[in-house]
Structure 1
Amino acid sequence: RETLTWKVSQFALGRPLTARDARHIRTIHNTAWKNGGTYGSLITAIVMSDLVLNTQTEIHE
């Protein structure tokens, strides 16, 4: 189950995940599981996670 969390999170971020991301992935997985374990709850957990919210996507000059 957690493998799906890793793969979908990696796709959402558009980059490979590393060991540094493991804590965030575990939190995402647990949050999604507590909210029903559905694909929708996984997507919501990813979008609302610190991993996504704190990822810089553009360089602001």
Structure 2
Amino acid sequence: MATTSASALEYQRSTLYKLAASPYPEWSLSALCAASIPAAARLSPAMPHFGVLMGFSAIWAGSG
């Protein structure tokens, strides 16, 4: 049976660990990605199609 050190237990009880284990980081980053797509697509003709970018953002949000 594996033992867990006191510092590992303290980290698992921390606010940062609870936030990282929640879906909020993925959701917020995918929303930021989706919000930046229109501006990025206008500035660069080498960007992938709008639907591909939105699909990527949706898949990223689904991982949360």
Which one has a bigger Cα radius of gyration? 2
Bigger relative contact order, structure 1 or 2 (CA pairs below 8 A, ≥6 apart):
2
Give the TM-score band, short-chain normalised. Answer: 0.3 to 0.5
**TM-score between the two structures when normalised by the length of structure 1:** 0.33
**TM-score between the two structures when normalised by the length of structure 2:** 0.32
Which structure has greater helix proportion? 2
